[in-house]
C-alpha cells in the first residue's frame, strides 16, 4: 500500500483529494489529509463581512463534509516533516509515512512580524480582514467610525488575494457615501508597490479608479513599524502616514512546520518548480495553493488550476511516465469596485491582464478590465460554485490554461 499524504484541507488540498481518489486504485493507494482546523472558510467572503454584506456564519462549513469516502481525514497539528525518512510528525508525536507528500497548508497573516502592530490597539484602531475574527471586529469598528483618516495598508508582498485591499478601499468609499459621511472620511491606500497595480495595461485601465473616488495613494511605502500611540505608520525611510483607523494586511507567512523542517523560503513558502509544483530539494514533495512560492498571485483560482495540472502530472509520475503538463501561472480575480459593480482580470506567468471577454471570445460572458454589474454578480455567485463544484472536484467550464482567445491585444 502506497501513501499519498496531503497537509492542509483548504481549497487546494480538498479539491485535490476529490479529484485524485476516484483515479487512484484503493487497494494500491492510501490517501490521507491532515488539518488542525475543523472549519472550512470561504476566504473571499471575508471582504464582505466588514460591510455587513455577509454574516460570519455564511462563510463557514465543515471541512469533513468535503472529504470523500476513501480518504483518511486526520484532525491534528503538524510538528514537522522529515524528508529523509519520508515521514510527517504530528504534534502528539504520531508519525505519518508518505511515498508522496503535498504541502497545501496555505499562508496566514502574522501581526507579530511588524513592530507596534500586535498590541492593545489591535481590534480597536488597528484591524485586518484576513481572518474571520478580524473581519468581524472590523464590521463593528466601521459601523462606529464617524470621520477621520482611514488607512488601508499592505505591509509586505506576497500576500494572498493581492487585490483585496484595493477592493476594500472601493467598498469602504461606497459604504461611507451611502451613510452620507463620505466627505468626512479620508481614505488612503498605502502599498510597497510602485503603484496601485504593477502591470502597465491594468494600471492604465484602473489607475484612475482611486483618483476618481478621491482615494489617496502612498506608493513605495515599506512599513517598518506602527507607532500605535501616535497612530502613525512609519516606513524604513522615515516617511509617516497618520491614521485614525488602520486596516492592514499583516505579513503573510506559510506554516511554522515548514521552517522547522528546513523547508521553505524566508516567508515559509515552499520553493517549487513553477510548472510542476515539485520541490526543488525533494522530488517526492510537492506544494499547491498559497503554500507554494510561485511567480503568480496567491489566489483561489491559482489553487484550482494548479490542482488540475498536478492531478494529471501525478498520475503520470506514479505510472513511471514523465510529468508533461506545465502550469502556465493562470490566475483570475474579480475586483469589487463598489456600486454593485466589479472588474475581472485574467492573466498568467507570461501575459499581464488584458481587456476583452472571458472565458470565451465575443460571448464572454464576463468582460475583462471593465466595471460592470455582471462581474459583481459573478463574484457573489462564485461562493455557491466554490462549495458545490470547485471543492468537490466537479468540472467547471473554465479553461485551466489562460485563454488568449477572447483578449484584445493592442495593434503594434
Partner 1 sequence: MTVTAIASKEVHVDDEGFLTEYDEWDEKLAVELARNIGIDEMTDAHRATINFLRSDYAEQGTTATLRRVSTVGQIPTKQLFALFPKKPAKKMAYVAGLPKPVGCV
Q: Which residues bind partner 1 (CB under 8 A)?
A: 156-159, 162-163, 193-194, 197-199, 202, 220, 222, 224, 236-237, 265-267, 295-297, 331, 345, 347, 352-353
Alpha helices in 267-330 (DSSP H): 300-318
- Minimum Å gap between C-beta 236 and partner 1 is 5
**Helix or strand run (H / E) with residue 176:** helix 164-178
- Name the residue nearer to partner 1 (CB basis): 61 or 260: 260
CB atoms within 10 A of CB 266: 8
- Name the residue nearer to partner 1 (CB basis): 246 or 335: 335
- Name the residue nearer to partner 1 (CB basis): 80 or 330: 330
Q: Which three cell numbers stand for residue 193?
A: 508597490
- Minimum Å gap between C-beta 272 and partner 1 is 12
User: 264 in the Ramachandran plot: left (φ > 0), alpha (ψ -120 to 50) or beta?
Assistant: left
Q: Which residue has the cell 463534509?
A: 65
CA distance 256 to 258: 5
Which string of DSSP letters, residue by residue, matches 236-275? TTS-EEE-SEEEEEPEEEE-HHHHHTT-S-TTS-EEB-TT
- Name the residue nearer to partner 1 (CB basis): 325 or 346: 346
- Name the residue nearer to partner 1 (CB basis): 33 or 196: 196
- Minimum Å gap between C-beta 239 and partner 1 is 9
CA distance 184 to 169: 15
- Minimum Å gap between C-beta 166 and partner 1 is 11
Residue pair 334/342 in contact by the 8 Å Cβ criterion: yes
Q: Which three cell numbers stand for residue 137?
A: 471586529
- Minimum Å gap between C-beta 265 and partner 1 is 7
Residue pair 316/324 in contact by the 8 Å Cβ criterion: yes
How far does CA 18 lie from the centroid of its chain?
Answer: 20
- Minimum Å gap between C-beta 72 and partner 1 is 36
Helix (H, G, I), strand (E, B) or coil at 288: coil
- Minimum Å gap between C-beta 331 and partner 1 is 7
Residue pair 276/100 in contact by the 8 Å Cβ criterion: no
- Name the residue nearer to partner 1 (CB basis): 63 or 407: 407
The radius of gyration computed from the CA coordinates of the chain, to the nearest angstrom, equals 21
- Name the residue nearer to partner 1 (CB basis): 2 or 239: 239
Helix (H, G, I), strand (E, B) or coil at 64: helix
CA distance 342 to 42: 19
- Name the residue nearer to partner 1 (CB basis): 63 or 269: 269
CA distance 114 to 116: 6
- Name the residue nearer to partner 1 (CB basis): 194 or 240: 194
CA distance 256 to 261: 9
- Minimum Å gap between C-beta 158 and partner 1 is 6
- Minimum Å gap between C-beta 74 and partner 1 is 33
- Name the residue nearer to partner 1 (CB basis): 24 or 159: 159
- Minimum Å gap between C-beta 360 and partner 1 is 22
- Name the residue nearer to partner 1 (CB basis): 198 or 208: 198
Helix (H, G, I), strand (E, B) or coil at 323: coil
158: preceding bond cis by omega (within 30 degrees): yes
**Cα dihedral 36/39/43/48 (nearest 10):** -140
- Minimum Å gap between C-beta 63 and partner 1 is 28
Nearest to 147 by CA among 245, 49, 48: 245
Amino acid at each position: 500500500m502506497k501513501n499519498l499524504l496531503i497537509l492542509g484541507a483548504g481549497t487546494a488540498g480538498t479539491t485535490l483529494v476529490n479529484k485524485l481518489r476516484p483515479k487512484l486504485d484503493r487497494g494500491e493507494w492510501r490517501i490521507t489529509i491532515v488539518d488542525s482546523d475543523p472549519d472550512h472558510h470561504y476566504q473571499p467572503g471575508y471582504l464582505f463581512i466588514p460591510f455587513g454584506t455577509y454574516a460570519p456564519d455564511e462563510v463557514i462549513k465543515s471541512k469533513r463534509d468535503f472529504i470523500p469516502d476513501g480518504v483518511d481525514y486526520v484532525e491534528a497539528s503538524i510538528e514537522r516533516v522529515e524528508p529523509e525518512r519520508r515521514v510527517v510528525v504530528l504534534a502528539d508525536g504520531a508519525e505519518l509515512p508518505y511515498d508522496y507528500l503535498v504541502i497545501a497548508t496555505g499562508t496566514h497573516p502574522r501581526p507579530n512580524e511588524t513592530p507596534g502592530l500586535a498590541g492593545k490597539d489591535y481590534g480597536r484602531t488597528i484591524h485586518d480582514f484576513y481572518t474571520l475574527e478580524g473581519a468581524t471586529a472590523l464590521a463593528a469598528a466601521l459601523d462606529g467610525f464617524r470621520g477621520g483618516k482611514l488607512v488601508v495598508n499592505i505591509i509586505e508582498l506576497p500576500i494572498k488575494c493581492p487585490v483585496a485591499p484595493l477592493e476594500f478601499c472601493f467598498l469602504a468609499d461606497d459604504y461611507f457615501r451611502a451613510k452620507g459621511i463620505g466627505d468626512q472620511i479620508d481614505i488612503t491606500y498605502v502599498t510597497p508597490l510602485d503603484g496601485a497595480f504593477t502591470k502597465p495595461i491594468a494600471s492604465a485601465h484602473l489607475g484612475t479608479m482611486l483618483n476618481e473616488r478621491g482615494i489617496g495613494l502612498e506608493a513605495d511605502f515599506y512599513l517598518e513599524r506602527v507607532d500605535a500611540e501616535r497612530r502613525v505608520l512609519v516606513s524604513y525611510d522615515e516617511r509617516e502616514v497618520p491614521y485614525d483607523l488602520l486596516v492592514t494586511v499583516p505579513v503573510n507567512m506559510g506554516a511554522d512546520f515548514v521552517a522547522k523542517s528546513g523547508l521553505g523560503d524566508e516567508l515559509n513558502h515552499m520553493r517549487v518548480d513553477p510548472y510542476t509544483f515539485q520541490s526543488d530539494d525533494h522530488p517526492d514533495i510537492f506544494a499547491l495553493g498559497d503554500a507554494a512560492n510561485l511567480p503568480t498571485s496567491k489566489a483561489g483560482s491559482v489553487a484550482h488550476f494548479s490542482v488540475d495540472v498536478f492531478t494529471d502530472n501525478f498520475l503520470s509520475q506514479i505510472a513511471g511516465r514523465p510529468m508533461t503538463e506545465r502550469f502556465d501561472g493562470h490566475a483570475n480575480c474579480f475586483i469589487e469596485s463598489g456600486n454593485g459593480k466589479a472588474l475581472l482580470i485574467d492573466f498568467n506567468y507570461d501575459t499581464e491582464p488584458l481587456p476583452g471577454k472571458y472565458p470565451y471570445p465575443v460571448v464572454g460572458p464576463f468582460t475583462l478590465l471593465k466595471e460592470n454589474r455582471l462581474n459583481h454578480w459573478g463574484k457573489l455567485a462564485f461562493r455557491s460554485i466554490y462549495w458545490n463544484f470547485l471543492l468537490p472536484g466537479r468540472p467547471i467550464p473554465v479553461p485551466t490554461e489562460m485563454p488568449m482567445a477572447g483578449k484584445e491585444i493592442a495593434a503594434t
